[in-house]
Amino acid sequence: MAVTTGTIQKEPRREPDQEFTALRRKGIELIEEMSHRWWTDYNSHDPGVTMLEALCYAITDLGYRIGWDITDLLQNPPGDGSDYAIQPFFTAREILTVNPLTADDFRRLLIDHEGISKAWIATRKGACESAWYADCKHDYLSFMPSGAQTFELDAVSPQGIRDVFLQFENDPELGDLNDRKIRHAFAIKISDKISGKEALEVTVEFRMPEWSTARLGEVSKYVDSSGKLLHALTSVELTNIAEGERKQSYLADIEIVFDKDSKDADEAAEVITLDLPAVPVRLYGSTSELKGYGDAWTFSDFDSAELAKVVAEPFLLKSAAVQRITAEAAALLRAHRNLCEEFCCIEPVRTEEVAICADILLEPEADIEQVFATMLFAIENYFNPPLPFHSLDELLKEKMAVEDIFEGPMLTHGFLKQGELEKARLRKTLRTSDIINEIVEIEGIVAVRSLRLTRYDTAGNPVGGVADIGRGVDEKRISAEWTLEISENCLPLLSVDNSAFLFFKNDLPFVADFAEVSDTLAQLRGQTERLKAQNSGSLDLPVPTGRYRDPERYVPVQYSLPECYGAGPDGVREPATAERRAQVKQLKGYLMVFEQLLANAFSQLAGARHLFSLDPAVQQTMFVQSLKNEELIGGVTDILKEELDEAALLEMAETATTMQERRGRFLDHLMARFGERFSDYALQVTDYDGKNKPAETLIADKLAFLTALPELSRNRAKGLNTAATALRPDNEAVLKRRIALLAGLAPETAQKIIIVEHLLFRPRFPGDALMEVCLGKLPCGACGEADPYSFQLTVVMPGWLAPFDKNIELRRSVERTIRQELPAHILGKICWVDNHDYDSTYREKLTVPLTDYLREEGRNARNARPPQKNALNGADLIHNAALESFSAWMKSEQYRTTEDSDRPAALRELFVAELDPLSNIYGGVSNYDVIGSTIYDMMSEHFAEVVEDDRWYIYKRFKDAWDAWLAALPERQRREWKPAGFVSRVQETMRGMIGSRLDPAQTARQAIEQFGDLFDRAMRELAAAGDAVNDPKSVVAEIFEEALDYEPFDSSSLSAAERAELKVLFIELYAPRVHESLLLLEVVTMHARLTSIYPPATLHDCVDGNDVNPVRLDSTILGG
């Protein structure tokens, strides 16, 4: 290996400003060029050359300091705050990480959470909660398909929804939370006179079900938040025993009985029970003994208290722990969700047991138990690869790129490698060749023969039809020689109990001691397990720190001249004449120009730390240094005038306009370094009236954006937190803040922006409110109109606020910013809405014609027409009185109960009752007996039109509905409402009711769709009437009674008792959701009413109601 030796260059290469010889040569060249006719002596003894050399030396000093490390130049002086005052030094963790964007990012986020060891994300196929149909004929969405449609072909379901599957860490007390199998050895008391045994030892395995809130209720009814049972377990009974498919396997109903609440003084209170139907149970033990005793013992011989302790209690506590961690994971995901994306099923990953049978050939000296344990460990890692956390130092030593290290979201336990994350995906196929390759790499193994794979179901029975698919073998084959298929989104789990391994040494068979194998395997698992303790190492790269070296410190050039010049710190050598002193002053004055230039240059270098600072207090980009300091230059006060202070120098160096321009350019450079820019610069440099915006405001806008840049960059695609019960600024979509800062919007305008994600409006159950659509004349759903939810959002802008109420060009600028900031896959609608209750336009629609009518038809006491001004005043008085009555009528919501055709008559009746006689309001005319009826007609028709327009506080009403909906969303999401689970519950209830000719699943689906359609109609009627719903159960009961007139509820095969049972089920499912559905109906109805308002004198498409091509009259030839 060649040895590299270090060398020192004889003449190191320097920058030009650090090369004294080059500077002197250049100076001589310039002197010679400018004054060669008078100056011919360029030797070192010449005073001019001497001064040139002093200047060159000062320049090299400046060049040397410019070459200092940037950390030293940006370092603050001691005692001046932090090392770097408000510098844009965002760390790698702040600026390179992102809010989870990809599926792997969300996996990282979940795996970093306490209690979760692995996670997988899958795109949802089909509806999460409920699908719908597009009724193109009637132009609306419905839960009922038309006669030509089928559920499979024409049902529409939203996109952008993901399912999440979790694997949990081992609990220190409860053990493996992923394993729902409970195995225990029971001693059954018997009396066998032949063998003399008094007890039969039986090991029983219970395959406990996954906790289902829909079937079993909330686990919090049995376990408190600290993980303790709320009620003492009384007994556990096994009933309805049925033999399973395999020997010594059974299905048993388990009834868990609890003590009554000790705080309840009512002794007759109902005992708390929990029923678990059809739990698979398998017995392990001596087959001959179990078979020999036959019916000599039964499951009732198990000790009930022992069952409660070893079966029921672990099941409840494990279920509670799983529910708690799953709920935490759901809240975590919804707090980090992206725009127009949601999560549906967040649940423990389902496992499928796989058994392996094989003959293993070993080397003669191999330790069978050690090899066996290592082999099992290798197979487990092949099925479920480990996913360890790594420290920052570890990855840096591996030379991993920094941008790769900080890929994804911020984590608290370290870093995950992308390669290991990809390797730890859920396998869809197991290959025997891969397993053999893993096994033969183990030391001591020579070969593997006859390896077979078998998959088992949740009851522990072998599964056929998944082995060696497509290889021309029996479709019902159980054991796989080549490949074994795993169900989608399921985790293969090695079943050691069902596996069989036979070891050979020199062709002699051996069987391993399984107890020793288990101990060794546990040891191997423990050695490789990396607990998710708080990472002790650093999670971020530190900001480099420098050493303050005072770059502004200046040594005057004149102090470098020979002492005989008299310009040094000791001054003129005494004794000196007045002439000599005057010559020295002249020399100092001559050099002062150079001194000032150089001193300013040193100050500019020292001020570099302020050039890119985010400190709003920075008010200069050019820096100067006053030389009026006797300690710096002796005798300077006799040379420089009093007025030439630092303020005067700064004014000469930089004007306010120059400073603002330079400051803005520095900030533009900073934004460009981070790939950001103000998208519409014209919007930034002009104010709302088209005049130049103050430069300070523009700088403040840029500083605000740069200060918030880490969050704005990291969370640019982040949606609002749907798990939060209150909509705070930190819970809202970051897009709102980006729009406000990039567009330079005023705070009061930015605060009123609403980002509405349509996906949050999706129906959560059949019968929930559906959005209004415009299917048009195209083929139904040709352009996606049948799905108004997927990847669509509405940006609600305050169109009534200045300047957007008048300036449509500014609107266009803001809209361009919004569209540029929206992710490319999201379709955004921008609505400039109104919030006026009753503006001048409405007022004039009544007062102008009413003034004309009073002027023409009104007569005063002298039978004369009222003057124009008097008539105008009268019209205003009458209008104001009518408006007061009308406002109270609107506030009481009486308009909701009035049909459109009856509204003018109702308003006329109101005005006659409250305003008559009109002479008390306006006495300028006296013939109300003639004109009064027409005036009432004009008022009633006018205000009926106002009601029909429905524009009263449209923004506020939508905002209130939106906030109410978001407040109800966390509770709504918490409910377990899955299409398959809902259908199955109705199907189970209807089983045996509908006869053998009908498909139970299809009939249940038809019943849900029919009931959902009726529920939707009923909710719309309730909302239109404005009635409060005090008893949701009675509302659902009425809907069910109506449903009995429709299929399949009207089936003759349903008895009265069966209909009553279905009624109870539908009330249970729908009653808790009545209020939520009404809230959703209100917000989607208000959303449909959102339309853009336009500045005066604007032509726009009144039919489409969009801002695509609005035309300002004063911007065309029509407007002059």
Q: How big, in percent rounded to 5, are the helix, strand and coil portions of the chain?
A: 45, 15, 40
State which residues form the domain around 247.
181-332
The count of other CB atoms within 10 Å of the CB of residue 493 is 18
Q: Sign of torsion, CA 1094 1100 1102 1106?
A: negative
Which of 469, 499, 528 terminates a domain? The answer is 528
Q: What is the pLDDT of residue 627?
A: 92
| Contact (Cβ atoms closer than 8 angstroms) between residue 124 and residue 162 | yes
Q: What is the pLDDT of residue 62?
A: 96
Burial of residue 114 (CB within 10 Å: 0-12, 13-18, 19+) is: exposed
| Same-domain check for residues 325 and 379 | no
Is 313 a member of any domain?
A: yes
Is 557 a member of any domain?
A: no
Amino acid at 806: K
Nearest in space to 757 (alpha carbons), one of 783, 782, 720, 704: 720
| Same-domain check for residues 823 and 774 | yes
Length of the chain: 1120
Q: Alpha-carbon distance 771 to 1083, whole Å?
A: 9
Please give the C-alpha separations between residue 441 and each of 80, 186, 371, 424, in angstroms, as whole numbers. 63, 41, 11, 20
| Collapsed DSSP state (helix, strand, coil) of residue 707 | helix
Q: Sign of torsion, CA 1092 1095 1096 1099?
A: negative
Nearest in space to 725 (alpha carbons), one of 383, 1049, 514, 964: 964
Is 394 a member of any domain?
A: no
| Same-domain check for residues 926 and 1012 | no
Q: What is the pLDDT of residue 736?
A: 94
Cis omega (within 30 of 0) for bond into 970: no
| Contact (Cβ atoms closer than 8 angstroms) between residue 996 and residue 1035 | no
Is 13 a member of any domain?
A: no
Q: What is the pLDDT of residue 977?
A: 55
Model confidence, pTM:
0.86
H-helix or E-strand spanning residue 1076: helix 1074-1088
The count of other CB atoms within 10 Å of the CB of residue 797 is 24
Extract the tokens encoding 864: 């004369």
| Same-domain check for residues 968 and 997 | no
| Same-domain check for residues 1119 and 1011 | no
| Contact (Cβ atoms closer than 8 angstroms) between residue 958 and residue 1087 | yes
Extract the tokens encoding 341: 């994306």
| Collapsed DSSP state (helix, strand, coil) of residue 1004 | helix
Nearest in space to 1058 (alpha carbons), one of 1001, 987, 990: 990
| Same-domain check for residues 988 and 1025 | yes
Please give the C-alpha separations between residue 213 and each of 9, 252, 323, in angstroms, as whole numbers. 78, 21, 10
Q: Alpha-carbon distance 249 to 253, whole Å?
A: 14
H-helix or E-strand spanning residue 182: strand 181-189
Nearest in space to 684 (alpha carbons), one of 702, 665, 669, 705: 702
DSSP 716-738: TTB---TT-SS--GGGS-HHHHH
Q: Is 320 left (phi over 0), alpha (psi -120 to 50) or beta?
A: alpha
- Number of domains the chain contains: 5
Extract the tokens encoding 647: 């303020």
Q: What is the pLDDT of residue 353?
A: 95
Q: Alpha-carbon distance 585 to 582, whole Å?
A: 5
Residue in this structure with the two tokens 């169109």, named with its chain if needed: 799
| Same-domain check for residues 912 and 1052 | no
H-helix or E-strand spanning residue 346: strand 342-348
Is 450 a member of any domain?
A: yes
| Same-domain check for residues 236 and 314 | yes
Cis omega (within 30 of 0) for bond into 1048: yes
Instruction: List the Cα angle 1001/1006/1012 in 5-degree steps.
Output: 125
Residue in this structure with the two tokens 């008094």, named with its chain if needed: 198
Q: What is the pLDDT of residue 1099?
A: 54
Mean pLDDT in consecutive groups of 10 residues from the start of the chain, 1120 residues: 67 85 93 87 88 95 94 86 73 95 96 95 87 80 67 73 95 91 82 58 88 84 90 87 76 87 53 88 72 56 86 94 94 95 93 96 94 96 93 94 95 94 95 95 95 92 88 78 94 93 93 91 82 72 90 94 89 88 92 94 94 92 92 87 86 92 93 82 53 79 93 94 77 91 88 95 91 66 72 94 84 91 94 78 86 91 89 92 87 76 90 91 91 93 85 86 89 63 72 64 84 92 83 94 88 82 89 92 92 69 47 44
Q: Sign of torsion, CA 949 952 958 964?
A: negative
Please give the C-alpha separations between residue 215 and each of 275, 348, 984, 988, 1012, in angstroms, as whole numbers. 10, 17, 11, 12, 21
681 phi/psi in degrees, rounded to 5: -65, -30
| Same-domain check for residues 879 and 869 | yes
Q: State how beta strands 429-431 and 445-456 pair.
A: unpaired
| Same-domain check for residues 895 and 997 | no
Is 16 a member of any domain?
A: no
> How many H-runs (helices) and E-runs (strands) does the chain carry?
36, 23
Is 105 a member of any domain?
A: no
| Same-domain check for residues 372 and 470 | yes
| Same-domain check for residues 815 and 867 | no
DSSP-H helix ranges across 728-773: 734-742, 747-750
Is 587 a member of any domain?
A: no
User: How far is CA 581 from its chain centroid?
Assistant: 77
Q: Alpha-carbon distance 682 to 674, whole Å?
A: 21
Amino acid at 1012: G
H-helix or E-strand spanning residue 914: helix 903-915
Q: What is the pLDDT of residue 132?
A: 86
Indicate the angle between helix axes 1056-1070 and 979-990, nearest 10 degrees.
160
